[in-house]
Chain A
Amino acid sequence: MQSTAVITPSTLSVVDLPWQVEWNKDTCTLCGRCTSVCPVSAIELGVFRKRSVEATIALQKKPTNSYSIYYGIRQRTDPAYRCIGCGMCNMVCPNNAIAPRLRPEATTLKFHNNRGGAARTRGGRRNDTGSLLDQIKFIRISMLTDPALDAGRHEFELRTLLGRVLPPEDGLAALADNAWVPAVREIYPLMIGSMSFGALSPNMWEGLVMGVSYLNEELGMPVRMCTGEGGCPPRLLRSRFLKYMVLQIASGYFGWDEIIKALPDMKEDPCAIEIKYGQGAKPGDGGLLMWYKVNKLIAAIRGVPQGVSLPSPPTHQTQYSIEESVAKMIQSMSMAWGFRVPVYPKISGTTTSTAVLNNLVRNPYAAGLAIDGEDGGTGAAYNVSMNHMGHPIATNLRDCYENLCIAGKQNEIPLIAGGGIGKNGNLAANAAALIMLGASAVQSGKYIMQAAAGCLGSEHDRCNVCNIGVCPKGITSQDPRLYRRLDPELVAERLVDVFLSFDTELRKIVAPLGRSTSLPVGMSDALGIGDYHAANRLKIKYVV
């Protein structure tokens, strides 16, 4: 900051910013790529005046000054233009002359990102590296008492059921009577969590759908993808690939005009319908697609005007109670597809999850319950919602599973857990831990974005600009200049890589536990943790 500048309460220096741009004058070629690529214009061309003092030895002559000008990179310190640490400057720099560096001790910015009275909104996640799931160990290793299995050679059947499974007596009686039974899908236990067409760019969405289709049709892995609240491209609705999609209906009902219109032309039923009541990243908020991202295509699919923000209501406005929700929504959605499609609610992790679950247990059409924990991600939310609202997934899931066990419904209503799985890169371990705590399936969104498309977000408030449509990787942008950076074919390829490696790792976890014939849902005796209170709360072993 120059000394002549006015100092205001929000005047910051570079050292007040958590992400500080380090630039090397010697290697910079002044090509300007970094300044043009920066999604938030945090860096600009700097013109610097340089004074050099030249003094001869023993002052044989009087010292002289010489002045010169040189050009370089200047980091802006206005909070509105702070560096977000995405590192695109480094990615495009031919000489590796520039990079952002995280300075965790610089906290001043946090007090100034509400100028104009606007509380900070962002995309991303909770920005907390702590993960209870990462602490869980798999401790019941088969060795001498029973042989461990060979993860590479044994046959494994790691599939799960999505849908309302009847009790054995009723299921067999229904078969004998040729009676209707609720739809049940056998799917892969890792689902792609809900990320809407609109939150994601067309290229990202297309890449995911292509990858999912490849996994299903070429590799025989019944992977399913949730659409989020934004509908589906009309062509997909009318294609055979719809059977790999879980259509979400949320409180804004976006995209459902198109879906209803496409019903007569559908070649296939969707895998399932997910009714979103809440999202782990921002419990109590509806979905939000900010105006930056509502372009012509998104507006057309969602049936809204262009360029307006689309905040969904926090709840479904047509319902005032859980009984209403269950009775009305689940029935209506089931009816729309002739009771051939499982319909399940998705809620934010909350202390009232068990109340919701108990209600679902009594409804013969409820096909499951998805619970999204506090570590889930989102495309747009208030910072405070993301950071401080929500319930950790582990205990929420465990409580629900134990409730099911008490009710004797533990094979009948699948619990789908999400929110922070793989937040530190340990996707398979986190997923397996949740499965053994009682989840029939897990949903992951952020990990998929990071691994399949190179999302730059991290748990250190890095990037987090999904909400304003300037995603430097083109993942969450609706600007063609940005999303053309993302090749859908390569996204599909990476998605397949992710699922294949996940599958290998999942086998490497269950094989030493002696499990291969069925997914070890609720196998809590295999789990241990070095936190005494967590062990007691989750009813797993305390090990140190």
Chain B
Amino acid sequence: MCRLFALSSRDPVSPMRAIEALNVMKEGHDGSGVGLFLHDLGGPFAETKDAPILSGIFTEDGLKRLDAFMDERGFVTKATLVLDPRTKTPEGTPIRGVYMARAYEIPADLKAASKAERELTYMAIRVALRLTGEERDDIRVFSFWPDTIMVKEVGDPLTVAEYLGLDRPELFARRILAQGRQNTNYAINLYACHPFFLQGVCTMTNGENTAFIPIKEYLLSRGFAGYMGYQSDSEVFAHIMHFTLSRLGLGIEYYKHVITPLSDTEMEGHPDRALLGRIKQTCRKLIIDGPNCVIGCLPEGTMFMVQDRKKLRPGVVGGHDGIFAFSSEICGLDAAIPDRDPRADVQPMHLDTAIVRPECQEVTLCNQLQSLPRPH
């Protein structure tokens, strides 16, 4: 089973803190891969918060094609971080090329465009790069978004982290999602490695999504270029969150109502039953059936954890003012934030969404039976 670990901190922290927490939970995962999402960066990239950063792995030919591709679109390189391997290639980890994060100056016409248009362009470029890279196996791109870096590779998380030298200031971040396993139910593929990213929304999941195929078919038919990929059945959780936020204009409190709606009986006495009934009806194809624990980060830095309706996966949230962590197991939490009060730890149950806002002051539990903020 996957092991997940996420950190939300007021001050930037090293990704190794999350990787070490994953390592503590090693007994529970097979160490077959690592995926990292780093947002709200603290190193040199912090000076260019608005510049989109492209994260991925490139062969030499891939780099040449990338440069031509970006030049053609008027994007100019602003800063580049190359992760040079520092140790011998770990067993089972292929030699793929250059691990790179590159910030770009965007063209003038895009600067003048609306935020939504810019965000759509970033997504379109990422998808186009991914597709062209898949044709020749020379470009793998995980994110193209301001203030965001992603790293993915096959192998034991700690070994890969040391191999890539992830303990460097450029990678210090306030929001970190880390996952320690490759997909086991479908083909091994870096694009199947969590976390999954789309337009600032990033989620990772533990467990298997038994309702994957109907959900995937539904998302694919929404006519949105970003709803693609699906090498992993967990990718849909990120896309459903994106759909909830951007297509439906609903906040994080509504996410769980989309994926695990209340039963009709529970809904009867709910103050927002008309709205919840409508969500349940119209988003029926997005209902998940577990067993899943989903941890994610929203574009503005809010982090959350939700469980499936049957609460068949572990998950705990804890920390103290300034830093909070979301973990599959308490031992991971103990390793990352030993100085917290464990009595204040929260294990979200089948109706809960645990939320930590970017201010990192507290864990808020949002129960599905509570009334909801009005939709935008």
Residues A169 and B248 in contact in the complex (CB < 8 Å), given A515-B210, A522-B213: yes
CB atoms of A176 and B375 under 8 A apart:
yes
CB atoms of A407 and B221 under 8 A apart:
yes
Q: Does B121 contact A (CB under 8 A)?
A: no
CB distance from A275 to the nearest CB of B (A): 23
Q: Does B80 contact A (CB under 8 A)?
A: no
Chain A residues within 8 Å of B213, by CB: 522-525
In the complex, which of the residues A140, A168, A405, A407 contacts B283, with contact meaning CB atoms closer than 8 Å? A168
Q: Does B282 contact A (CB under 8 A)?
A: yes
Chain A residues within 8 Å of B138, by CB: none
Q: How many residues of B contact A (CB 8 A)?
A: 42
Chain A residues within 8 Å of B243, by CB: 168
Residues A186 and B278 in contact in the complex (CB < 8 Å), given A168-B247, A525-B213: no
Q: Does B20 contact A (CB under 8 A)?
A: no
Contact with B along A143-186 (1 / 0, CB 8 A): 00111010000110100010001111111100110000000101
CB atoms of A514 and B210 under 8 A apart:
yes
Complex Cα distance, B281 from A165, in Å, reads: 7
Stretch at the interface among B4-12, B98-106, B285-293, B328-336: B285-293
Complex Cα distance, B284 from A410, in Å, reads: 10
Q: Is the interface of B mostly helix, strand, loop or mixed?
A: loop
Chain B residues within 8 Å of A474, by CB: none
Q: Does A425 contact B (CB under 8 A)?
A: no
CB distance from A519 to the nearest CB of B (A): 9
* Residues of B206-260 whose CB lies within 8 A of A: 207-208, 210-214, 217-218, 220-223, 243, 247-250, 260
Q: Does A518 contact B (CB under 8 A)?
A: yes
Residues A146 and B248 in contact in the complex (CB < 8 Å), given A172-B282, A405-B217: no
Nearest B-chain residue to A174, judged by Cβ: B278
Residues A142 and B210 in contact in the complex (CB < 8 Å), given A168-B248, A168-B279, A171-B281: yes
Nearest A-chain residue to B210, judged by Cβ: A514
Chain B residues within 8 Å of A518, by CB: 211, 284, 287, 289
Q: Does A408 contact B (CB under 8 A)?
A: yes
CB atoms of B248 and A172 under 8 A apart:
yes
Residues A186 and B264 in contact in the complex (CB < 8 Å), given A146-B207, A410-B218: yes
Chain A residues within 8 Å of B275, by CB: 172, 175
In the complex, which of the residues B217, B278, B312 contacts A146, with contact meaning CB atoms closer than 8 Å? B312
Chain A residues within 8 Å of B310, by CB: 149, 154, 516-517
Q: Does A118 contact B (CB under 8 A)?
A: no
Q: Does B184 contact A (CB under 8 A)?
A: yes
CB atoms of A172 and B279 under 8 A apart:
yes
CB distance from B84 to the nearest CB of A (A): 37
CB atoms of A167 and B282 under 8 A apart:
yes
Chain B residues within 8 Å of A175, by CB: 274-275, 278
Q: Does B309 contact A (CB under 8 A)?
A: yes
Chain B residues within 8 Å of A409, by CB: 221
Residues A172 and B375 in contact in the complex (CB < 8 Å), given A146-B208, A146-B210, A517-B309: yes
Chain B residues within 8 Å of A169, by CB: 247-248
CB distance from B212 to the nearest CB of A (A): 7
6 A-B pairs whose Cβ atoms sit less than 8 Å apart in the complex: A146-B290, A157-B264, A408-B218, A409-B221, A517-B211, A520-B289
7 more A-B contacts (CB under 8 A) besides A165-B282, A168-B283, A411-B285?
A145-B184, A169-B248, A175-B278, A405-B221, A410-B217, A523-B210, A525-B213
Closest 3 pairs between A and B when the two form their complex, measured CB to CB: A408-B221, A514-B210, A171-B282
